Amino acid sequence: MKAPQTFFLTGAASGIGQHLADSLIAQDRCVFATDINFDALEAHAQKQGWPEQRVRLRRLDVRDPAAWSEAIDEAVAAFGDLDVAMNIAGYMLAGWIHEFLPEEVDRHFDINAKGVIYGTQAAARQMMKQGYGQIINIASIAALAPIPGVSLYSAAKYAVRAFSLAAAQELRPYNVYVTAICPDAVRTPLLDPQKGIEAAALVFSTPKLFSVEDIARVILERAIPRRPMEIVIPAHRGWLAHVTNMFPQLAFKLGPFFRKRGEARQAEFFSERG
């Protein structure tokens, strides 16, 4: 299998998407980088000196299916084909179910779930025509076991994982592979709005907050070469999540321990940031 050369990324203005774009460009790959925050994307591209001959930038609201079709068409026009599409853009704001507003329900599902669905569909149509490709969708460890306090995020990521695994089965006959990446908490701007929010404690209960470099390494060294249906990061937390998912009553026994640990690490995380 030849190394993929053309990549389409969402969420490329910050976090995992930004680091992946930097890494791919450093490897002389062609990158079509998108984000709803185009000013931040453009500023980073200029700062890093992304080469114009191998990089295209575009504002993309992942909630807009028409914009998705236009963006994929532009990427193909620029680079001739599309080897890998990565749905990375995401949103999370912790809160208790009796408190969140209707617009928060819409925002979580429109960005995290529907955005991935529209992106997968648009990329799949192109890849089916060209006869090959891979779609990588960022889910979460919250897609394996429900996490109280981030119920909307967890529910949306459950949808991402389920959709991705079903899409993988539908698209394999066309030589198109779909991979769901399910990481534990990662140090990205997604964590910033959780400061001072009690409901977010379990997000920080992980033994280790992963870096964007950690997740990019898994994607570049495992997901792309091997094209599995799913990767959970780390695997041992995935097994714990699977067990809790099969026996949900365990959450009442394990939850207090993890919440207490999460509260301490949440306070530590934001105190370090000042």
- Beta strands, E only, 41-151: 55-59, 84-87, 133-138
Contact at 8 Å (CB) between 45 and 123?
Answer: no
- The CA distances from residue 73 to 67, 76, 168, in Å, are 10, 5, 22
Distance CA 204, CA 269 (A): 8
Burial status of residue 268 (CB atoms within 10 A of its CB: 0-12, 13-18, 19 or more): exposed
Task: List helix spans (H) across 131-249.
Answer: 151-171, 212-218, 224-226, 235-246
Distance CA 223, CA 139 (A): 13
Dihedral of alpha carbons 77, 139, 104, 212, sign: negative
Nearest to 25 by CA among 2, 49, 58, 43: 49
- The CA distances from residue 8 to 44, 75, 86, 210, in Å, are 17, 7, 6, 23
Is residue 118 part of the annotated active site? The answer reads no
Which member of 91, 118, 132, 153 is catalytic? 153
* Catalytic residue ranges: 153
